[in-house]
Amino acid sequence: MKLLTPLLRPSRLTPLFSDEATLQRMLDVEASLAQAQAQCGIVPAQAAAVIADHCKVAQLDLGALAQAAAGAGNLAIPLVKQLTACVKAADDEAARYVHWGATSQDIIDSGLMLQLRDAFTETEALLKDLLAALAQQTARHQQTVMAGRTWLQHALPTTFGLKLAGTLDALLRWQERLKEIRPRALAAQFGGAAGTLASLEEKGPQVARALASALSLSLPDTPWHSQRDRLLEVGGWYAGVAATLGKFASDFALLMQTEVGEAAEPVAEGRGGSSAMPHKRNPVACAAILTATTRLPGLMATLYASQLQQHERALGGWQAEWETLPDIITLAGGVMQTSLELIRDMQVFPEKMRENLHITHGLIMAEPVTLKLAEHIGKQAAHQHLEPLCHRSLDEGVALQTLLVDDALIRRYFSEDEIARLLSPLEATGSAPVFIRQVLARYKESL
């Protein structure tokens, strides 16, 4: 549904997997194949030049190609037929050499590799922008104290900077993985009908090397027609990045709840409104991110299932990848682009964060008080003494500080001023500043 593309696939990765882009990349492989074979003395140089000159998607009839693919079983067969006809109209002799020694899967898979290389380049740029935006916001909010939450309940104080640093830390790891994956994944596919290049006789390996060089792809040790681990790894990377950003979007949407109000999406005309309620300001960016990340596990399951490919060429598994992997990549690209816009211009409300720290009347600081008391009477005894005081604070709506000041055991060890300091959330963020500094230092190193 192209109507939903601006919502779910707004990144520069999406056009890389359009029908036109897919066919052009297949044609690029056909052109490179003819030129590689000319280099190896199999195809006349003039014929290779004519073939390459006609490898342009504008010369194809896409509607007819799509209809023919339904009977042929893949796009390459009707593409080669149309390409041959175009070449034949210009040079009857050159038409003899179109698609020489290759099989349909060689063209489709190598074309996909070219698309993936384009996608990696765009992804690296997008990830770089994401990291920069996150690093800037992390530094800005490293002292913005807020309630940490476990099981969706107040736990102990943390900082918004540390929350952001966690996402930054994860994305830095994804950046490292992408650098590792790229050379391993981008491998040419050229094996001929059964993966042996028998039709090229002793020149098969030579042509394979020349083709890989022409395409600027690595040359694998064997054709990988039914070994699809490279694509599984690529899909897993994109799904993983999206999951990291989906976790961030889920947290951010919870901070946007009316009762919480600690953050908000960027303000823009017509953004986040309701068709029924004029007061609404919905987390539409978070919704788009979570929509995509909800779909990705199912798509990854399809990619996993597609690993079960029969013998030398697959029946169904290979074909199931055709739409699945582009879906994963373009949805993940949309997640990255939408997250970038959200992170760059998000609104943060430190005053509301501080206000929410006090809604439990000091209970968020019960653990620090317990640990200080434990220095005098032991951990278990301190816990047993504080727990009923916390329950009284909840049941009676009385501030924990009042109950502690009135408690004889507490007053034996702590003055009123010491109790007040123990209950101050602003002094209880532990090693958060250290963790933030470490992540920001690693980000700077990555540059």
Measured between alpha carbons, how far is 298 from 316 in angstroms, rounded to an integer? Answer: 17
Domain boundaries, the chain: 4-43+100-132+152-351, 363-423
Q: What is the pTM of this model?
A: 0.93
Measured between alpha carbons, how far is 258 from 244 in angstroms, rounded to an integer? Answer: 25
**In the predicted model, what is the mean pLDDT of residues 412-430?**
91
pLDDT score of 280: 57
| Burial (Cβ within 10 Å: 0-12, 13-18, ≥19) of residue 154 | middle
Q: From 299, 171, 175, select the one nearest 247 (Cα to Cα).
A: 171
Going by pLDDT thresholds of 50, 70 and 90, the confidence category of residue 54 is: very high
> Considering Cα of 268, then 273, then 277, then 283, what sign does the dihedral take?
negative
The per-residue pLDDT for range 336-370, each reduced to its tens digit, is: 999 999 999 999 999 999 999 999 989 999 999 99
156: region left, alpha or beta (phi > 0 left; psi from -120 to 50 alpha): beta
Q: Are 163 and 372 in contact (CB under 8 A)?
A: no
**Phi and psi torsions of 264, nearest 5°:** -155, 155
By three-state DSSP, how is residue 258 classified? coil
DSSP string, 176-188: HHHHHHHHHH-B-
Q: Which two tokens stand for residue 146?
A: 């807020």
What is the 8-class DSSP label of residue 41?
T
pLDDT score of 275: 47
Catalytic residue chosen out of the listed positions 313, 392, 411, 442: 313
pLDDT, averaged across the chain: 95
Q: Are 36 and 206 in contact (CB under 8 A)?
A: no
**In the predicted model, what is the mean pLDDT of residues 202-219?**
97
Measured between alpha carbons, how far is 366 from 202 in angstroms, rounded to an integer? Answer: 78
Q: Which two tokens stand for residue 169?
A: 């830390």
Measured between alpha carbons, how far is 268 from 241 in angstroms, rounded to an integer? Answer: 27
363-423 maps to CATH 1.10.40.30: yes
Q: What is the CATH number of domain 4-43+100-132+152-351?
A: 1.20.200.10
CB atoms within 10 A of CB 4: 11
313 is catalytic: yes
250 is catalytic: no
pLDDT score of 287: 97
Measured between alpha carbons, how far is 31 from 303 in angstroms, rounded to an integer? Answer: 29
The per-residue pLDDT for range 27-38, each reduced to its tens digit, is: 999 999 999 999
Catalytic residue chosen out of the listed positions 18, 216, 250, 274: 274
Measured between alpha carbons, how far is 211 from 200 in angstroms, rounded to an integer? Answer: 13
